[in-house]
Each structure stands twice: as C-alpha cells, then as structure tokens.
Amino acid sequence: MIVLQPGTASLALLEEIWRQGRPTRLAETARGPVDRAAELVARIAAGSAAVYGVNTGFGKLASIKIDPADTATLQRNLVLSHCCGVGEPLDIATSRLMMVLKLLSIGRGASGVSWPVIAQIEAMLEMDVTPVIPVQGSVGASGDLAPLAHMAAALIGQGEVFFGGERMPA
C-alpha cells in the first residue's frame, strides 16, 4: 500500500503507481484539512447565501437559487451532463493514475470534498475498480471536466467501470 501525502508525491512515485497499479491511499494527516474544508462548504451551503454551483445554477443560470431539497439532484445532473467523452477508453493504468492525482488534489483540503468521497476513491483503487474514461472530448479551458465527470459518475454508480479488467456498468 502506498500512502500519499498531498504536496509531496514525486514524479518517480507517480510513475511507479502508474506502472505497477499498487493500492494507494492518502495519509491520515490529510483528514484534518479535508474535514475543515468540507464543514465550511456545508455550513455556507446550509445558510441563506447563494453559493455558485452549490445552491445556484451554472453559467447564465448562476442567479437562479436552487431549493435545498434539490441541491443533490443539481450536483448529480452536473456530473452526468459533463459525461460527454467519446472514443476508446483510456487505458486502466492511466485512469487509475488520474484517480490518484485527484486524491492528491482534493487531499489538500481546498476543495470542500468530504472524506467519504476520498474513502470511495481509495476503495475503488484497492478493489481494482476503475472508471471507463473516454479518450476524446472535454469541456472548459482546463480540458478535464469531461474526464473527471466520467470518474465522478462511477463514484455515484453511473457510467461504466473496469473491474478486474472487465468492462461493466458501474
């Protein structure tokens, strides 16, 4: 098991993870910053203030406030609406590395993602469950919205995954 500390992973270590597919998890020291950020986002979202993308629409719909009972549906729909990749899937090793890189990113505690999401990604890595991520197509300047949407879809039981090398519904 490789234990990662956000901000310290070397390129050599990431290459080892990519080549060998070893189970990977975040260091427990990441939990504090992650929990604090998640609690902050939850507290703000529970308030009456509009929080872009949490309890509002997106883009031109940013001024539309979403009812608290509908915010989970909003988030689910956001993920699914960005699952627009096409073509052959990334190879499993690259998809796994993408998951590890996402762990390192959200493990810094600046995103507001809760620890159970991290635990889900870790469990998928440990059990050899890898999202099917198409190689083509993305949305936005960063170029990673569609690939990350396919990864997030697998986390919520949507889309497809590879399990033990076999492609199947999530």
Q: Which residues carry out catalysis?
A: 52
According to DSSP H, which parts of the chain are helical?
11-20, 31-46, 71-81, 92-106, 115-126, 145-155
How far is it, in rounded angstroms, from Cα 35 to Cα 5? 16
Over its C-alpha atoms, the chain yields an Rg (Å, rounded) of 17
Under 8 Å between Cβ of 161 and 129: yes
